[in-house]
Amino acid sequence: RLLNVSKRAPTIKQRNRLASLTLAKEDDLGRNDQQFEERSHLGYLLKAGDVCLGYDLQTQTFHDEEADQARTNNKLPDVIVVRKLYGGVATGEASKQVQRKFRLQRLDVEVADDLKSSLARKNAELDDMDEEDFLREVEADRDMRTHMNLYKAPAVSSKSKQQHNDMDDEEDSQDGEDDDQQVKLEELLDGLDLDSPPDATNAPAGAEMEPAGEGEKAAKDGLAYVHREEAQQVREKDAAVPVTSFGEDWLRQTTK
């Protein structure tokens, strides 16, 4: 968890802004006072109280002698910050999916029933972990989201436009500076319900859709309409016979 941020060059906003961070492990909060002071390229995104992911190089096992020697000589940082967390993941909410304002479309996948229950449960847990890691990456990478379609979560879709504007204003005020990696509401698409009838959303309340009579559309457009029975009785025209006068003048001259 981020305890303090000291940004360098605060008057110029750029993605590679360097910042001095004071961090602590979440497991150490309330147990000891161990803190880390490091510099990070994610300075323009972070503020005090944010939760981020990183690598603890103090406890990392190196299989390379040069890397281990560099850590011994204090040539490596103690912590490397790689990503900022958003939404319910950062606040520690139990239901992370509820806290996210976006969702992704999923393909229906059939799972084999002959797998053992323990193996199937383990695979399901691994799939959930992979999906959560992927959603975190999507949540923190705007460039990655430009190649994807993100849809509004059901809780967000039910809110009015004014409530959406209030949510954006509240997020901007909490972040202080504009976080250009955070998911914005204008990026999200409305969900597509394939089970709803066509033009159901545009029809007035209480109105019933009446099917158009046969030939009514053609009559309105001023076109002649042939009924089905009449069309079946129409005979095909005889094949066209090609007519040409090529070579007739030459034949007349030779026969004289």
pLDDT in tens, 202-229: 555 555 555 556 667 767 777 777 677 7
Q: For residue 3, which of 46, 54, 56, 53 has the smallest C-alpha distance?
A: 46
Residue 88's pLDDT is: 62
Per-residue CA distances from 115 to 4, 130, 192, 242 (Å):
49, 20, 34, 72
Q: Name the least confident of 29-38, 73-82, 135-144, 170-179.
A: 170-179
Q: Tell me: pLDDT of 145 over 80.
A: yes
Q: Tell me: pLDDT of 112 over 70.
A: no
182 within 8 A of 222, measured Cβ to Cβ: no
Q: What is the mean pLDDT of residues 39-55?
A: 82
Residue 129's pLDDT is: 80
On whether the pTM is more than 0.85, the answer is no
Per-residue CA distances from 216 to 154, 181, 207, 211, 227 (Å):
41, 54, 20, 10, 12
Whole-number Å distance between alpha carbons of 240 and 174: 80
Residue 65, φ and ψ in degrees, nearest 5 = -65, -35
Share of the chain above pLDDT 70, in %: 58
For 153-190, give the secondary structure using H, E and C: CHHHHCCCHHHHHHHHHHHHHHHCCCCCCCCCHHHCEC
Average pLDDT over the chain, rounded to whole? Answer: 71
19 within 8 A of 8, measured Cβ to Cβ: yes
Q: Tell me: pLDDT of 22 over 80.
A: yes
